[in-house]
Structures are given as structure tokens and as C-alpha cells.
Amino acid sequence: MAEDVMCAIVSGEIAAEVVLRTPEVVAFLDHRPVFKGHVLVCPTRHVADLTDLPDDLIGPLFAAARRIAQAIGPALGAQGSFVGINNVVSQSVPHLHVHVVPRTRGDGLRGFFWPRTKYAAGEQEAYGTLLREALAAAGRE
């Protein structure tokens, strides 16, 4: 696998403003933040996307994201945070990373970053069934 930007940051090849580092996770300021203080949290091992995240990294990755979210208020005066992951689509770097973005009421960010839609009659139940079946099948593998 060719080095990606996240792997280069992990190795120190590319400098970044690191705010947290453990053996499993590195968290650093996004160089193009939604709001100042926007942090990216990623595994130190190369993981392409959420579906490739090994079970042994789930805890460390999300514990680090939670720690960053807890620190944003006291550190930056934020009232809360947006925590999210783009998975393949809109994932600008092919290395899993969690966005932790400081938020305050009236900051101009409205809802989600993508348009909303509505289910037609019966469609919500159909989607629910499809997802439950896929989850059940995956549990049997």
C-alpha cells in the first residue's frame, strides 16, 4: 500500500499539529478545518475505511474521539461537538479518520452536511428489513 497522508503523518514524514498520540491512535488538527479546533482522529495502522477497522482498534479509536470531544469545550469554549466519519464516499483520504468539530449555538453549521430525503409509504420498513437481514447474515459468517 502506497503511503497516504495519514500514514505519512503517523510516521512523522509530514508534520501535523498532534493533540493526542497513543500506540494505536493519533489525533491532530485538520489543516482545513470546518471550525478552528477541528481534529482528525485516526488509527496509527493503515485502515482504509470503517468496514476495515479491526476489532482491536474500535475501542482505542472511539475512546480517543470521545476524549477529544470532552476536551473541546473546556479548551476552546465550545458548547458541544460534531463527531462524524465519511466512509468511502466523501472520504478525501483513503485512511479511516474521525472528525471531531467544535460547535457552538449559532455557529452557522446547519444540520447535516448533506440533503435530507423522505421515505415513501412502506419504504422505511423495507429498508429496515434489508439491513436486519444483512446484519443477521454477517453474524452467521
Catalytic residues: 97
Three-state DSSP class for residue 43: strand
- 46 CB neighbour count, 10 Å cutoff: 16
Three-state DSSP class for residue 53: coil
Of 62, 51, 52, 50, the closest CA to residue 24 belongs to 62
126 CB-contact burial (10 Å; exposed 0-12 / middle 13-18 / buried 19+): exposed
Residue 50: partners with Cβ closer than 8 Å, 6 or more residues away = 85, 87, 96
